[in-house]
Amino acid sequence: MTNSLVSSLTPAHLRFLEGLFPGGDLVTDPAAMAVYGADSSRRAAMPFAVARPREEGQVVELLKWAEAEAVPIVPRARGTGMSGGAVPVCGGVVVSCLHLNRVLDIDADDFCAEVEPGVVTAEFQALTQKRGLFYPPDPASLKISTLGGNVATCAGGMRAVKYGVTRDYVLGVRAVLPGGRIMDAGGRSHKNVVGLDLTRLFVGSCGTLGLITKMTLKLLPLPEGSATVLAGFASLPAALEGARGVFRAGVLPTAMEFMDSKACWAIGQIRDVPWGAQTQAVLVLKVDGGKAALAAEMARLEAALAPAAPLCLFKGLGPKEEEPLWELRRLVSPAGFRLGPDKLGEDVAVPRGKTAQAVEGFQAIGAEQGVQVACYGHLGDGNIHVNIFYDAADEGQRQRAQASKEAVFRLTLSLGGTLSGEHGTGITKGPYVQWQLGEEERRLMAGIKQVFDPSGILNPGKGWS
């Protein structure tokens, strides 16, 4: 499909684009375009041009033209994706959604909001909170990432253990399809079982089916309060036992995160950390709800952790005290580079009951291969970030890192897990998708792609598409 796409723009193409995106909204200078070709996966490719629409009508005209001219179109938000989903591997026109950034409506009666894709996640959350409402998805990059990017990747985050992921909060999607067709799926009703669920099909589709121009998001009542516990343990098994104890005690935390010894060490290289040198693993847990019930919930958490003998335990009551504890957790990703200049950042997920087996197995793989492997992330969901550090200038290390990645994938699949819990397949997992998806699943997915994008212009070269 992608063979027939154009490999550069003609002068006539450029004239069309300049007419459609006047006043600096078309970027063709290579130095200015470079930033639009990379994302947080540290992969990069050069687009032919970058378009920055301000109105849906421009997107419609663009996609009519792109289909007729076989020009690849690569949707893009803030580039915080971890798997190269926004990297224009076949060139083409990168379409930035950052000017489509209006919050159109926040409705406290319908418990929903209508937003454009370029709205920044944390800014949206702050707006909803002012109205006594709550939008739970909270990817670690929420201060930079956008709602459109979150929907395109089905972003998860820390609160997924109690509240689910982005998919669970998208009630409707309006998108422009190749040829300029408009799909308006779902809406403001919280329940809807008429026809196939095209809305959810779009969530996590990484811009391979259409360009989202509006989303209807579900909101919840804002919990009255929240509290956080950060506990350090003498070993990873002790921390994992502590986590099991929490579930066994019948507590459903809002968030249950962990960091292994290497992740803890890396954070300690860039920040003062509250845990001591004996700490080999850290759990960060959050609970939320009515203020009257919170103290009791915290007491239950502490009691549940006690048999695992935490070496230290710090509490934060309310956002001001909690934030420094969560900031430490969000720092793992940038701090990790203290373990090595290059990283394979994996994001596997396993059934909850297999989490301990998985994490211990991933660490053993690192030890066998002689590479630094840091594990951390969303323990409560079984969604483990396995970061493999190496020096790309050293061919032996590069090969051992690659072998470690494949061993991590094999172990994950043997435990009934999945190659990506929340980062998506993008380009970094492309060749491995076949390890997980059966022939029939792939055939059906290819068929769906064909229905939405028969000429294959949308985000070519990505994942399963």
The footprint of ligand MLT (CB under 6 A) covers 82, 140, 332-333, 345, 347, 377, 385
Comparison of 62 and 203: residue with beta carbon closer to ligand MLT: 203
CB of 355 to ligand MLT, least distance (A): 15
Least distance to ligand MLT, CB of residue 235, Å:
23
CA distance linking residue 423 with residue 41, whole number of Å: 10
Distance CA 266, CA 261 (A): 9
Which lies closer to ligand MLT via its Cβ, residue 60 or residue 158?
A: 158
Say if residues 105 and 113 touch (Cβ distance below 8 Å): yes
Rounded Cα distance, 362 and 348, in Å: 11
> Among residues 170 and 348, whose Cβ is nearest to ligand MLT?
348
Provide the b/e sequence for 40-58 (b: ≥16 CB within 10 Å). bbebebebbbbbbbeebeb
Instruction: Yes or no: say if 264 and 273 are a contact pair by the CB < 8 Å rule.
Output: yes
Q: Please report how close the Cβ of residue 352 comes to ligand MLT at its closest, in angstroms.
A: 17
Considering the complex, what minimum distance in angstroms separates the CB of residue 68 from ligand MLT? 38
* Least distance from ligand MLT to the Cβ atom of residue 157, Å: 7
155 touches 422 (CB < 8 A): yes
From the CB of 377, what's the least distance to ligand MLT, in Å? Answer: 5
CA distances from 436 to 58, 356, 365, 369, 414 (A): 38, 21, 20, 24, 10
- What is the residue whose two structure tokens read 């792109």? 66
* Closer Cβ to ligand MLT, 140 or 236, answer by number: 140
Looking at the Cβ atoms of 164 and 187, the one nearer to ligand MLT is: 164
Give whichever of 9 and 374 is closer to ligand MLT, judged by the CB atom. 374
CB of 11 to ligand MLT, least distance (A): 42
Nearest to 283 by CA among 359, 379, 140: 379
5 or 401, CB closer to ligand MLT? 401
**Residue 309 beta carbon to ligand MLT: minimum distance, rounded to whole angstroms:** 27
Distance separating alpha carbons of residues 241 and 316, to the nearest angstrom: 22
Q: Which is nearer to ligand MLT, 333 or 465 (CB)?
A: 333
Name residues whose C-beta falls within 8 Å of residue 393's C-beta, 6 or more positions apart in sequence: none
**Residue whose C-alpha is closest to residue 266's, from 107, 374, 149, 132:** 374
Residue with tokens 């994490």: 359
